[in-house]
Amino acid sequence: MVVTDPSGGVVAEVGEGIGVATNNVAEYRAAIRGLGLARDLGASRVHLRSDSKLLIEQLAGRWRVKNPALQRLHREARTLLGGFEDANLTHVPRERNREADAMANQGVDAWLAGPGRDYRPPDPNPELFG
Q: ∠ at Cα 95 (89, 98), nearest 5°? A: 80
The domain segmentation of the chain, as residue ranges, is: 2-129
**CATH top-level class for 2-129?**
alpha beta
pLDDT for position 110: 54
How far apart are the C-alpha atoms of 54 and 37, rounded to whole Å? 22
Assess whether pLDDT exceeds 90 at residue 97: no
- How far is it, in rounded angstroms, from Cα 45 to Cα 43? 6
User: pLDDT confidence of 16, banded at 50, 70, 90?
Assistant: low
Distance CA 68, CA 87 (A): 25
Task: Indicate whether 2 pLDDT > 80.
Answer: no
Give the burial class of 79: count Cβ atoms within 10 A of its Cβ; 0-12 exposed, 13-18 middle, 19 or more buried. exposed
Quickly state the pLDDT bin for 103 (edges 50, 70, 90).
low
Portion of the chain with pLDDT greater than 70, in percent: 65
